[in-house]
Amino acid sequence: SPDWIERLGQRLGWLRPAAAVHALDGVDLAVAQGEVVGLVGESGCGKSTLGRIAVGLHAPTRGTRLWRGTDVDALPEAERRRVQLGIQMIFQDPYASLNPRMRVRDLLAEAPRVHGLISRAEQAGFVAGLLRQVGLDPAMAERFPHQFSGGQRARVGIARALAVKPGFLVCDEAVAALDVSIQAQVLNLFMRLREQLGLTCLFISHDLGVVRHLSDRVAVMYLGRIVENAPVADIFARPAHPYTQGLLAEVPTLKVEKKRFLAIRGELPSPLAPPPGCHFHPRCPHAFDRCRHEAPRLREVAPDHASACHLHD
């Protein structure tokens, strides 16, 4: 049966088991209007899965997706599609997410045209405006994606997401594939757009340094759970969770501050078989007996600052 083939494939490592794709555990995350929340953690911790659930690309096995208090997936189909248009994703690999056979003008105008946001007559001016907004020459509208550099493609990816005037944006490692200097340029663009457009955004990155200047708050994930959630200044000045402290120790630009904390030991365990109790205990410099069998709950340790660690007791 196909089931049997799938099991065999998984055993041989051809297919990723479905459990790995849905490895989130009791995650509860809110993004307020006009707020940018940085979601950080090592790759494989479930950040992308959470982002994909937020934009509706994955259905969660349990739980709901609320948009301004409404369960999006319970809406009548036409209404759901209308709301869904306002929820956009900027992908990890801008090249893979752009159709190579479409000119940039069509890539940018497609969704707004289909949804009746612009007319054919308005298209050229609309595309030129979008390109200018992301710092590209409007003449580039005639080009194909392969004629752009990595940084330019990242800008096109951002322009395409902005084309439908989204109310909520998820950026998944939007700059991770770029050289450091280009990364800085795209992050600056992002900060400028954020100011101009008042973006509401979940910004996913494995790099705390990347989310630092961009986010209002930061949520830290470890193996499918959020272990800390606080305003960005508190995360950097008073990280409460040993995992966050370890991540801070690894940010190369924080030379002075990082001396306070120990770096994280070892590898991220498989999300398929997370360690019992606190998932972080095999790597935690402060682990004690209770950590090995009891999962700590996320709770407020200071005003507006939540952390999940037994040390807070």
Helix (H, G, I), strand (E, B) or coil at 93: coil
Give the H or E element holding residue 47.
helix 47-54
Name which of 51 and 239 has its Cβ closer to ligand SF4.
239
What residue 291 binds from ligand SF4, Mg ion, none (CB within 5 to 8 A, per partner kind)? ligand SF4
Tokens found for residue 241: 């969770």
Return the half-sphere exposure (C-beta side, CA atoms, 13 A cut-off) of residue 252. 2
What residue 38 binds from Mg ion, ligand SF4, none (CB within 5 to 8 A, per partner kind)? none
The piece of 42-50, 119-127, 190-198, 298-306 that touches Mg ion (CB under 5 A) is 42-50
Least distance in angstroms from the C-beta of 223 to ligand SF4: 11
| Contact positions with ligand SF4 (CB under 6 A) in 68-127 | none
Name which of 170 and 264 has its Cβ closer to Mg ion.
170
Q: Cα torsion for 71, 77, 79, 85, to the nearest 10°?
A: 90
The Cα–Cα gap between 150 and 154 comes to 6
The Cα–Cα gap between 4 and 14 comes to 13
Size of the site for Mg ion (CB under 5 A): 1
Nearest CA among 212, 248, 218 for reference residue 230: 218
What residue 48 binds from Mg ion, ligand SF4, none (CB within 5 to 8 A, per partner kind)? Mg ion
| Contact positions with ligand SF4 (CB under 6 A) in 255-294 | 278, 280-281, 284, 286-287, 291
What residue 297 binds from ligand SF4, Mg ion, none (CB within 5 to 8 A, per partner kind)? none
Does position 171 interact with ligand SF4 (CB under 6 A)? The reply is: no
What residue 160 binds from ligand SF4, Mg ion, none (CB within 5 to 8 A, per partner kind)? none
The piece of 16-24, 110-118, 170-178, 304-312 that touches ligand SF4 (CB under 6 A) is 304-312
HEC string for 212-225: HCCCCEEEEEECCE
The Cα–Cα gap between 54 and 282 comes to 30
Size of the site for ligand SF4 (CB under 6 A): 12
What residue 208 binds from ligand SF4, Mg ion, none (CB within 5 to 8 A, per partner kind)? none
Q: Which residue has the closest beta carbon to Mg ion?
A: 48
Is the four-CA dihedral 10, 15, 20, 21 of positive or negative sign?
Answer: negative
Of the residues 24, 36, 46, 48, which one makes contact with Mg ion according to CB under 5 A: 48
Name which of 261 and 280 has its Cβ closer to ligand SF4.
280
Nearest CA among 181, 127, 183, 205 for reference residue 159: 127
The Cα–Cα gap between 232 and 214 comes to 9
Q: How distant is the alpha carbon of residue 104 from its chain centre?
A: 25
Name which of 152 and 245 has its Cβ closer to ligand SF4.
245
What residue 310 binds from Mg ion, ligand SF4, none (CB within 5 to 8 A, per partner kind)? ligand SF4
The Cα–Cα gap between 250 and 262 comes to 9
Query: Is 87:167 a contact under the CB 8 Å cutoff?
Result: yes
Binding site for ligand SF4 (CB under 6 A): 242, 278, 280-281, 284, 286-287, 291, 296, 309-311
Binding site for Mg ion (CB under 5 A): 48
